[in-house]
Amino acid sequence: MKIALVGATGMVGNVMLQVLAERNFEMTELIPVASERSVGKHISFKNKEYTIVSLQDAVNKQPDIALFSAGGDTSLEWAPKFAAVGSTVIDNSSAWRMDPEKKLVVPEINGDVLSNNDKIIANPNCSTIQLVMALAPLHKEYTMKRVVISTYQSVSGTGVKAVQQLENEEAGIEGEMVYPHPIGRNALPHCDVFLENGYTKEEMKLVKEPKKILGDDRFSITATAVRIPTAGGHSEAVNIQFEHDFEIEKVRKLLRESPGVIVQDNVKENIYPMPITAHQKDEVFVGRIRRDESQENSLNLWIVSDNLRKGAATNAVQIAEYLVEKKII
């Protein structure tokens, strides 16, 4: 099986290479793809050197799967070209997520929607993935009515230049500013660009994407997304109102039994999810599980995950694994 990796030199692309190696994804050929200025350079994968090729050269090689993490414009232009030669594209950008003809997939939740007709598959937003991993089993059991989310997002979600800005600030070095304000010792309620309705694009992704993944638009969602000076993962404070009442121990049991979810919830021992402990792990961690005493049938959760792994690279590779396992490709 031939695998193309578009955006192989980027932050998420590098993590995809790590995940492919760690999970020992079977392939006969790796085709690393990057911008024109990187063509001809080499990357290392499993102790072997590979030459970076152009997008057109990668299309000409007709890979079985093309993993994309190169931005929305590149995906809009090139994903259909890969699909036209028979490749199945798994795209990490926002380009195709809300396209009604494209599937938006978290394999543990809705992998069963995929078929061999799906040649462009969308990987959800990083914050959405960890959110729905916790929401899905609870929605199935109790039916969500309303969800209120506040996110505390790593600078790595913006990209390598944002990580560099934080590192420069911590070292007292003047450098390129990716954010409109300092990020060190700060919190910016500003993830992505602001829209006409006063929300950011990131917040509206959190409003729209869970409904598509869960196949249900009967519940309402609102979100505030905040950038904070950490690099290990995204955190979310989530309040859920259900149609039906619940028992806290049953909630913990449902979450513990959900594939890919780990419950860390022992406040007496100061055990709860944190970005520093979720870093470089593939699971979604849930804690601070408690009833909202101000409103009936309502629950508070704290959800943390490594945004570059389950929030991006790992989920994309899991989609590829699902396609192979189910003989869809």
Measured between alpha carbons, how far is 250 from 167 in angstroms, rounded to an integer?
43
pLDDT for position 229: 98
The conformation of residue 188, written as its DSSP 8-state character, comes to B
Number of H helices, E strands in the chain: 10, 14
225 shares a domain with 181: yes
What does the pLDDT read at residue 231? 86
Q: How many beta carbons lie within 10 A of that of residue 36, not counting itself?
A: 9
Structure tokens given for 21: 């190696």
195, 58: one domain: no
Provide the CATH number for the domain around residue 73: 3.40.50.720
Residue 232, pLDDT score = 86
Q: Do residues 101 and 185 both lie within one domain?
A: no
- Looking at the structure, do residues 34 and 162 belong to the same domain, yes or no? no
61, 47, 37: which is closest to 17 by C-alpha? 47
**224 and 172 housed in the same domain:** yes
SS3 call for 288: strand
- Structure pTM? 0.97
Residues acting as catalytic residues: 126, 234
Crossing angle of the two packed helices 126-142 and 201-214, in degrees rounded to 10: 40
Residues of the chain with pLDDT under 50: none
In this structure, are 161 and 114 located in the same domain? no
Do 240 and 115 sit in the same domain of this protein?
no
> At 206, phi and psi to the nearest 5?
-70, -25
Structural domain boundaries, residue 26: 2-123+312-325
Which 3 state secondary structure label does DSSP give 118?
A: coil
* CB contact at 8 A, 68 and 33: no
Residues 188 and 301 in one domain: yes
pLDDT at 4: 98
Helix (H) or strand (E) holding 78: helix 72-84
Name 266's Cβ contacts closer than 8 Å, sequence gap at least 6.
272
The pairs formed by 75-82 with CB atoms below 8 angstroms and a separation of 24 or more are 78/6, 79/120, 80/120, 81/55, 82/4, 82/58
CATH number at residue 226: 3.30.360.10
Structurally, how many domains does the chain consist of?
2
CB 106 within 8 A of CB 45: no
Going by C-alpha positions, the residue among 81, 140, 66, 77 that lies closest to residue 323 is 66
